[in-house]
């Protein structure tokens, strides 16, 4: 069974935790609650490319063979699509 590390990024401008709840709901629906080994929540602007919790999540995935899961692609950067 695949095990997941969940990564959530919420904007520092957004003081409402609804955005975080929506991300968690999407991820838990997709992978199942019991399959998430650990989750990281980072309150950071998309402009800032330095994300220590994202780096930690990626390292755990590489070390143990887990899969990184995010709710939406725009949580990793500013654009919603990749060119």
pLDDT value for 15:
67
- Cβ atoms within 10 Å of 3's Cβ, excluding its own: 15
pLDDT reading at 28 higher than 80: yes
Tokens 């968690």 belong to residue: 24
Length of the chain: 83
Q: Among 4-8, 29-33, 34-38, 70-74, which stretch is predicted with the lowest mean pLDDT?
A: 70-74
From CA 41, how far away is CA 39, in angstroms rounded?
A: 7
User: Is beta strand 36-43 parallel, antiparallel or unpaired with respect to 4-10?
Assistant: parallel
Band of pLDDT at residue 83, cut at 50, 70 and 90: very low
Does any domain span residue 43?
A: yes
Range of the domain at 31: 4-75
Tokens of 78: 């500013």
Q: What is the pTM assigned to this prediction?
A: 0.84
Does any domain span residue 83?
A: no
From CA 6, how far away is CA 27, in angstroms rounded?
A: 7
Q: How many domains would you assign to the chain?
A: 1
């Amino acid at each position: 069974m695949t095990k997941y590390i969940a990564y959530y990024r919420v904007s520092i401008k957004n003081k409402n935790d609804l955005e975080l709840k929506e991300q968690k709901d999407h991820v838990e629906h997709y992978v199942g609650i019991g399959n998430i080994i650990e989750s990281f929540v980072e309150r950071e602007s998309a402009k800032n490319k330095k994300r220590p919790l994202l780096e930690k999540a990626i390292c755990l995935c590489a070390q143990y063979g887990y899969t990184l899961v995010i709710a939406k692609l725009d949580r990793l950067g500013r654009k919603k699509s990749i060119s």
